[in-house]
Structure 1
Amino acid sequence: MEDAAGWEEARVVPESEASVDAVTEGDAALSPWIFSQPWAVCSDTAQRVMDIRPGPLGSQPQGLARAGEVLVFSADDGVSGRELWASAADARSISRLRDVRPGPAGSQPRDLTQVGRWVYFVADDGQHGAELWRTDGSTAGTALVRDMRPGPVGSAPEFLTHVDGTLYFTANDGQSGRELWRSDGTERGTVRVHEFLPGPGDLALNQLTAWDGGLALVSSEARETVVWWVGPTGAPRRVFSREGAGVIFGLTAAGRHLFFLLDPGTEVGELWVVRDTSLAAERVRSFPGDYPAYLTPMDDVLYFMAGAADWYGNPGDAVHGGELWRSDGSTAGTELVVDLRPGALGSMPKDLVVMGDALYFSADDGVHGRELWRSDGRAAGTELVRDLEPGPVGSAPAGLTVEEGWLFFSAETAGHGREVWYSAGRPWGTSRLADIAPAAASSNPFDFVRAGWRLFFVASDGARDQELYSVPFRPWFLCFSKDC
Structure 2
Amino acid sequence: MGSWRHVVLLCSLSVGCGGPLPEEAIQEGERPQARSPAEEGNEETAAQGTRPELGTARLVKDIFPPLSGPAWYGPYPENLVEFRGKLFFAANFEDGRRELWTSDGTPAGTGPLKQFPPLSGPIFSSSLTQLTPMGTRLFFVVNDETHGSELWVSDGTTGGTRLVKDIAPGQADSGAYNLKAVGSTLLFFRYVSATTTTPARNELWRSDGTDAGTVRVKDLGPDASLIFSQAIVGNTLFFALSDAAHGSELWKSDGTEAGTRLVKDIVPGPDSSNPFSLRAVGQHVFFTAAEASHGTELWRTDGTEAGTTLVADLIPGPDSSFPQLLAPIGGGLYLTTMDTANRSMRLYKLKNDTAGVQVKFVAPLPNSSIDPDTSLTITNSTVANGKLFLALTLQGMGPAPLDTQLWVSDGTNTGTKMLHHPLSLSDEFGSTLYTLDDRVLFSGRDDVNGLEPWVSDGTENGTRLLKDIAPGTASSFPRDFTRVGSKVFFVANDAVHGNELWLLPLVNALDGADTSVQP
Asked whether 1:190 is paired with 2:214, we answer: yes
Structure 1 stretches of 5 or more lacking a match? Answer: 1-36, 308-315
Amino acid at match of 2:333: L
For 1:118, the equivalent position in structure 2 comes to 137
Asked whether 1:236 is paired with 2:267, we answer: no
Check the 8 A contact 2:105/2:487 in 1, yes or no: no
Asked whether 1:285 is paired with 2:313, we answer: yes
Amino acid at match of 1:245: D
Check the 8 A contact 2:486/2:513 in 1, yes or no: no
Q: 1:359 aligns with which of 371, 388, 397?
A: 388
- Write out per-residue CA displacement over residues 231-287 of structure 1, whole angstroms, 9 at most, x where no aligned residue: 365523532113232222222212232122223489942221113687621123266
Once residues 173 and 321 of structure 1 are traced to their aligned partners in structure 2, the CA distance between those partners, rounded to angstroms, is 44
Q: 2:362 aligns with which of 337, 342, 362?
A: 337
Alignment of 1:379-398 (within 5 A): 379-384=413-418, 386-387=419-420, 398=431
Amino acid at match of 1:191: V
Q: Answer with 69-78 or 273-282: which moved more.
A: 273-282
Matched position secondary structure for 2:158: coil
Q: 2:327 aligns with which of 280, 296, 308?
A: 296
For 1:436, the equivalent position in structure 2 comes to 469
Amino acid at match of 2:458: G
Check the 8 A contact 1:47/1:471 in 2, yes or no: no
Asked whether 1:64 is paired with 2:80, we answer: yes
For 2:161, the equivalent position in structure 1 comes to 142
For 2:285, the equivalent position in structure 1 comes to 258
Asked whether 1:97 is paired with 2:118, we answer: no
**Higher RCO (C-alpha under 8 Å, 6+ residues apart):** 2
- Write out per-residue CA displacement over residues 347-378 of structure 1, whole angstroms, 9 at most, x where no aligned residue: 6444111223222113479xxx7543322323
For 2:59, the equivalent position in structure 1 comes to 47
Check the 8 A contact 1:50/1:94 in 2, yes or no: no
Once residues 497 and 448 of structure 2 are traced to their aligned partners in structure 1, the CA distance between those partners, rounded to angstroms, is 20
Check the 8 A contact 1:85/1:94 in 2, yes or no: yes
Deviation of 1:222 (Å): 2.8
Amino acid at match of 2:250: V
Q: 1:245 aligns with which of 251, 271, 284?
A: 271
Deviation of 1:107 (Å): 4.7
Once residues 177 and 328 of structure 2 are traced to their aligned partners in structure 1, the CA distance between those partners, rounded to angstroms, is 24
- Write out per-residue CA displacement over residues 200-232 of structure 1, whole angstroms, 9 at most, x where no aligned residue: x34324444212431212231233133223236
Once residues 245 and 403 of structure 1 are traced to their aligned partners in structure 2, the CA distance between those partners, rounded to angstroms, is 43
Matched position secondary structure for 1:352: strand
Asked whether 1:327 is paired with 2:339, we answer: no
* Root-mean-square deviation (Å): 3.6
Once residues 346 and 336 of structure 1 are traced to their aligned partners in structure 2, the CA distance between those partners, rounded to angstroms, is 20
For 1:454, the equivalent position in structure 2 comes to 487
Check the 8 A contact 1:340/1:346 in 2, yes or no: no
Normalised by the length of structure 1, the TM-score is: 0.77
Quick one: structure 1 residues 232 and 60, their matched pair in 2 at CA, closer, same or farther if it must change by over 3 Å?
Answer: closer
Quick one: structure 1 residues 450 and 148, their matched pair in 2 at CA, closer, same or farther if it must change by over 3 Å?
Answer: same
Q: Report sequence identity in percent.
A: 29
Amino acid at match of 1:457: F
Aligned length: 430
Check the 8 A contact 2:203/2:218 in 1, yes or no: yes
Once residues 304 and 412 of structure 2 are traced to their aligned partners in structure 1, the CA distance between those partners, rounded to angstroms, is 27
Once residues 340 and 205 of structure 1 are traced to their aligned partners in structure 2, the CA distance between those partners, rounded to angstroms, is 33
For 1:127, the equivalent position in structure 2 comes to 146
Matched position secondary structure for 2:412: coil
